[in-house]
Amino acid sequence: MSLKQDFETFCDDIQLDNKADMESTAGEIAKKLNTHYYDLDKDTSSHMYIVGSVGRETAIKNSSDLDLLFDLPQSVYKKYDDYQSNGQSALLQDVKDVLKERYPNTRMRGDGQVVVIEFTKYTVELVPAFIQSDNRFKYPDTHDDGKWKYTDPLSEQEECKKCNDNSDGIYFNFCHIMRNWKNTVGFEFGGLLIDTLVYNHFSENDDYSDSAYGDYLTILQNVFDYLKSQDKNQSYWFAVGSNQQVDNSGGGAFVSKANKASKKIADALESGNDINSVLRELLGNSFPASATTTKNSFATASSSYRNTEQFIENLFPVDIRYALQLDCRVSQDGWRDFFLRAFLKDNGILRRNKSLDFFINKTDCPEPYSIYWKVRNVGHVAEERDNIRGQIKKTDSMHQKEHTDFQGPHFVECYLVKNGVCVAKDRIDVPIGTI
């Protein structure tokens, strides 16, 4: 296939594929809340809003969160606003108790501003709120003894839809692509911030409306260049549509990641290397391999080695929400220990017969979580020995011990899985030379 066809196939593949199921869940929750708070029996639509990425139509396949907002009667607001202390917490508890009647065997909790319902396929975060005359919503925040805050998801949805219409569908596609990028590379990049920054870039480029899939590589480069131009230390951006502050919760990690992505693409184009391989590295295995690569891989695999590699996206939904950094202590008798990450910054190459102790250097992911490791041997020696490995194994250990054996650009990945979702990942390269 052509690169044009590859982008079209990729964009179709990463589309949200369970929206109908999510809408059904939202309807069941609405029916219970409408019955209790409004005496509207069997009403599955009134007062319920699908918000977040699903509501903005920027969510992708295997999305693990469904954000809902339910508009409660003003009498309920008055009741809990009159509380002397943290009526907001009492409101969350009341809504949770009502929903517990509908889902008695489902894990459920009040958490800050939302009622969390942990279904098997995805987690619902329900905001109980009160619509205002300007179509904003007032909602509870239980922190610091309780307070009320405001949100404006409808304006965000409206502006996203307008941008998508003006770009003939390209805006939504690139919101999806950026989500797949951050999940593939493995760093925190909030959904609303993604949608806002892509929107800001598209607002500066009206000519995208005349673009087609054949232009997507150029647009992708432009988006990466725009992202890398941002100030990683900026505290917040103003959200698309609502102009509410969107915090830089990921510490601006997207800036350096976009810079690396832009360079990878530019280097591949300059050198004439297989651009599909680079795009698969950046955007995930849903992006098609080039016809030449596919043919060669099949021929090689069928004649010399077993393809044992596994991919985390085939085992769990991937939604990177937390930071994770790996490092590795390198040791050998008669030599001083050193750390691999610093060594790689100087373009170092490891030699054989060294002991490797990979470990989780830091993460902000709250426990509990499960820990999975993947060790992948790359190169012709690994293939000749039929030893590419690449299986993903649950160890729940902070460490993974290996040793340098044979030449090749190997790598190790680690994944944190929480509530059935991969929420953090990192990769560290292990280049091993011939000596």
Residues 177, 55 within the same domain: no
Report yes or no on 275 lying in a domain.
Answer: no
Q: Which of 120, 151, 182 is the last residue of a domain?
A: 151
Give the chain's mean pLDDT. Answer: 94
CA distances from 304 to 295, 301, 409 (A): 14, 6, 19
Say yes or no: 121 and 160 in one domain: no
Using the 3D structure, point to which of 132, 151, 170 is the last residue of a domain.
151
Residues 187 and 144 placed together within one structural domain of the fold: no
Boundary (domain end) residue, out of 123, 151, 179 = 151
* Angle 112-116-121 from CA coordinates, rounded to 5°: 150
312 and 257, same structural domain?
Answer: no
**Residue in the block written with tokens 């280097």:** 267
Cα–Cα distance measured from residue 8 to residue 1, given in angstroms and rounded to the nearest whole number? 11
Predicted confidence at residue 292, as pLDDT, reads 65
Q: What's the chain's Rg over C-alpha atoms?
A: 24
Yes or no: say if 426 and 324 are a contact pair by the CB < 8 Å rule: yes
Q: What is the domain extent for residue 88?
A: 19-151
Which of 4-13, 200-209, 299-308, 422-431 comes out lowest in average pLDDT? 299-308
So what's the pLDDT on residue 1? 72
Convert the pLDDT of each residue in 251-309 to its tens digit: 999 999 999 999 999 999 999 989 999 999 999 999 999 876 545 554 554 557 889 99
Res 88: pLDDT: 97
- One domain, residues 114 and 191: no
Same domain, 428 and 312: yes
Q: Indicate if 374 and 426 belong to the same structural domain.
A: yes
* CATH number reported for the structural domain that contains residue 70 in this entry: 3.30.460.90
Does the pLDDT of residue 51 top 60, yes or no?
yes
Whether residues 95 and 29 share a domain: the answer is yes
* Domain identity same for 38 and 140: yes
So what's the pLDDT on residue 298?
47
Domain shared by 112 and 192, yes or no? no
**What's the whole-number mean pLDDT along residues 170-178?**
98
Task: Kindly report, residue by residue over 244-259, the tens digit of the pLDDT.
Answer: 999 998 999 999 999 9
Tell me the per-residue pLDDT of 116-137, one tens digit each, with 9 for 90 and over.
999 988 999 999 999 999 999 9
* pLDDT (average), residues 10-37: 97
How far lies 166's CA from each of 11, 57, 132, 171, 225, in Å? 18, 15, 29, 9, 22
Q: Is 58 exposed, middle or buried (0-12, 13-18, 19+ CB in 10 A)?
A: buried
Using an 8 Å Cβ cutoff, are 46 and 38 in contact?
Answer: yes
Specify if 357 maps to a domain. Answer: yes
Please give the average per-residue pLDDT across 384-395, as a whole number.
94
pLDDT in tens, 130-169: 999 999 999 999 999 999 999 999 999 999 999 999 999 9
Which residues have CB under 8 Å from 31's CB, separation 6+? 42, 43, 44
Q: What is the length of the chain?
A: 435
Q: What integer is the mean pLDDT of 211-220?
A: 96
Give the contacts of 53 (CB within 8 A, at least 6 positions apart): 59, 63, 65, 67, 179, 191, 192, 195
- pTM here is 0.92
Asked if the structure places residue 228 within a domain, the reply is: yes
Q: What is the number of domains present in the chain?
A: 3
Residues 223 and 309 in one domain: no
**Which pLDDT score is estimated for 297?**
53
What's the CATH code of the domain at 326? 2.60.40.10
